[in-house]
Structure 1
Amino acid sequence: MEFWPKKENFKKVIDIINRFKLEYKLKIKIKKNINKETNVLKINSEMAKKMLNWYPKLSFQKTLDYIIAYEKSLEQNKEPYKICLQQIEEYVKSK
């Protein structure tokens, strides 16, 4: 059983970095890394779908939206518990 996604579902690390750069207005330069690292995130939930009948409820982009909103709320000294509750309520209302 394979535990990686189809090639068309790969997410490039640089795309995620660029999203955070945009959201946080970061001015960083990415240097070539001498360490061997992947350029693509190959995260797959197919095995969880088959074995546990589990399916992701959020798209990859919506997941990034929640992560960024959470981090920005932390920067504003909001309580993590309240941030999570707010995000859960938002998700439930969207269904």
Structure 2
Amino acid sequence: MKTVSIREAQDKFEELAQSVEQGETVTVTRDGKPVLDLVPRIEALTVLQGKPGGYDPEAGEAYLRSKGIVRAKGFVSTDFDDPLPEDFLLRPFP
């Protein structure tokens, strides 16, 4: 992984773009602190779509079962996070 300052990134953008196209990740810094990463497009898309390294609920459940942890099954209504009806909100407390 290559690290460059913002000013250097501005001056050598074409060169950095070619490095990124070849699969390298470039970290851009300001005052020595990382500000952003330039990553290959394919890698960025797979990270956003949760493919490699993302959360796999089935694997999580299998791991818990392998450790003898059984989670309680419950019911959550499909409208759990829907806004409350206006008449409910305007009703005074008993």
Task: State whether TM-score is above 0.5.
Answer: no
Superposition TM-score, scaled by structure 1 size: 0.25
Structure 2 length-normalised TM: 0.25
Q: Which has the larger radius of gyration?
A: 2
